């Protein structure tokens, strides 16, 4: 963890004395980072954005405890600079109705940044300051995060470095699991076997049936083909009430699962803590945190034994890394949520890195999507995040 992140984390925990004692380290660290960033980007300006809304039908619907997803709407962002460097990012919108509003917001935000220096943190601060009176939330927050991520990609390309090296770390292997998006035993068995054959180090199941016995059937189906010791996580997608979560999760405590993910409403902070304190299996939260401060509240309360912030939802690269720094102070392992190819770089720079998640919905957009290597995910060693668009696939899915 860098000096800057450590001080931010100490301040978030209210540890002013610790933060003050780190002041000298932070000043040197901040000076070194500032000098590096300035030398790389002082002469590079934001020119304009290319924004593409796309939607594609899923070959097989994604079944979750929170509903069925049959199509996947995505926004692609290309941030063009006057140096010819292009930073990229993307975000899943979940609801097709959000595509056009997202395009409009990104267009307006791009106009605000035209001619600004390529500086991810300063660009992010400018956009957040503009929206202070209404708050950066919902689709606006997604748009701001996309811009910040694309700016990091462009900055790393300008430096000729992978993003993880710009953050101070080399690419390194992170255990990679495959999310099995099905809620019928036969389909779970089929997808679990595929994950095993393709070399994933673990799998995650989608649970949350109204009838608890059906959840047990899914775990049994996965265990039957993967074996008793193979790592299995389970995700309830907020499907349970607090009393039901406590009952059901306690009955699953003996099944050797890696974690219970989001068993109850993500906004019910008190209920999440009650559940975590009532069960022995670790509880994982974070995909619906919308700021490092929200993550700190959950970690401080003991609601999260493990965390998995979502790169878009948390606010972008800087916010994700700040949340990971706080987790390090709490001694809490950090995993990623979706955005596999991007998250690989952040996990490489995270001392408490735990697992990387692979969800295949974005694969068709990329020329070289992530694949397990010896059961692990390794960040690309190409400049930036190392991703390139699959233009043929995008052309067939673009929304006019």
- Please write the tens of the pLDDT for every residue from 270-287: 999 999 999 999 999 999
- DSSP type of residue 1: -
Question: ∠ CA(16), CA(20), CA(23), 5° rounding?
Answer: 145
Confidence of residue 9 (pLDDT cuts 50, 70, 90): very low
Q: Is the pLDDT of residue 162 over 90?
A: yes
Least confidently predicted of 33-47, 153-167, 333-347, 371-385: 33-47
Which are the contacts of 292, defined by CB distance < 8 A and separation ≥ 6? 8, 12, 314, 315, 319, 322, 323, 326
pLDDT at residue 41, as a whole number = 64
DSSP H/E element including 174: strand 174-180
pLDDT at residue 11, as a whole number = 44
pTM of the model: 0.89
**Length of the chain counted residue by residue:** 400
d(CA 66, CA 311): 21
Active-site pick, 157, 206, 298, 358: 206
pLDDT at residue 61, as a whole number = 78
Q: Is 337 noted as a catalytic residue in this protein?
A: yes
Adjacent-strand bridge partners of 285: 307
Long-range contacts of 276-283 (CB under 8 A, 24+ apart): 276/302, 276/303, 276/304, 276/305, 277/302, 278/246, 278/249, 278/250, 279/246, 279/249, 279/250, 279/253, 280/253, 281/249, 281/252, 281/253, 281/257, 282/258, 282/306, 283/259
Q: What is the mean pLDDT of the chain?
A: 90
- DSSP type of residue 176: E
Which are the contacts of 295, defined by CB distance < 8 A and separation ≥ 6? 286, 289, 304, 307, 309, 314, 323, 326, 327
Q: Is the pLDDT of residue 106 over 90?
A: yes
149: three-class secondary structure by DSSP: helix
What would the mean pLDDT of 183-200 be, rounded to a whole number?
96
Active-site pick, 157, 204, 290, 337: 337
pLDDT at residue 100, as a whole number = 95
The structure tokens 């990387």 sit at 356
Torsion angle defined by CA atoms of residues 352, 355, 357 and 358, in that order, rounded to the nearest 10 degrees: 130
**Nearest alpha carbon to residue 222 among 263, 190, 198:** 190
Strands 376-377 and 174-180, sheet pairing:
antiparallel
Strands 202-206 and 174-180, sheet pairing:
parallel
């Amino acid at each position: 963890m860098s000096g800057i992140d450590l001080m931010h984390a100490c301040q978030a925990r209210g540890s002013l004395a610790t933060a003050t004692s780190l002041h000298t380290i932070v000043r040197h660290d901040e000076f070194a980072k500032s000098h590096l960033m300035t030398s790389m980007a002082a002469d590079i300006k934001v020119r304009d954005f290319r924004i593409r809304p796309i939607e594609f039908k899923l070959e097989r619907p994604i079944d979750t405890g929170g509903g069925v997803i049959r199509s996947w709407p995505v926004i692609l962002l290309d941030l063009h600079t006057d140096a010819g460097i292009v930073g990229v990012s993307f975000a899943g919108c979940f609801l097709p109705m959000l595509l056009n509003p997202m395009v409009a917001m990104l267009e307006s935000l791009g106009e605000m940044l035209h001619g600004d220096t390529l500086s991810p943190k300063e660009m992010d601060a400018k956009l957040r300051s503009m929206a202070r009176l209404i708050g950066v939330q919902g689709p606006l927050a997604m748009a701001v995060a996309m811009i910040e991520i694309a700016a990091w990609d462009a900055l790393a390309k300008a430096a000729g470095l992978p993003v993880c090296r710009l953050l101070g770390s080399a690419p390194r292997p992170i255990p990679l699991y495959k999310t099995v998006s099905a809620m019928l035993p036969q389909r779970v068995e089929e997808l679990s076997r595929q994950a095993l054959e393709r070399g994933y180090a673990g799998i995650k199941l989608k649970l949350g049936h109204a009838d608890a016995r059906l959840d047990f059937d899914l775990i049994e189906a996965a265990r039957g083909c993967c074996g008793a010791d193979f790592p299995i996580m389970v995700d309830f997608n907020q499907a349970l009430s607090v009393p039901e979560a406590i009952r059901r999760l306690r009955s699953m405590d003996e099944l050797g699962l890696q974690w219970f993910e989001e068993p109850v409403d993500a906004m019910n902070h008190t209920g999440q803590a009650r559940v975590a304190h009532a069960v022995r299996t670790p509880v994982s939260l974070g995909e619906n945190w919308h700021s490092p401060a929200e993550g700190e509240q959950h970690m401080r309360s003991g609601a999260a034994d493990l965390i998995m912030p979502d790169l878009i939802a948390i606010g972008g690269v800087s916010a994700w890394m700040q949340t990971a720094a706080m987790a390090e102070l709490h001694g809490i392992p950090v995993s990623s949520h979706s955005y596999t190819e991007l998250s690989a770089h952040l996990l490489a720079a995270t001392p408490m890195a735990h697992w990387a998640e692979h969800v295949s919905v974005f694969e068709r957009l990329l020329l070289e999507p992530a694949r397990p290597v010896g059961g692990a995910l390794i960040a690309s060693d190409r400049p930036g995040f190392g991703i390139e668009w699959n233009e043929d696939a995008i052309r067939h899915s673009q929304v006019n």
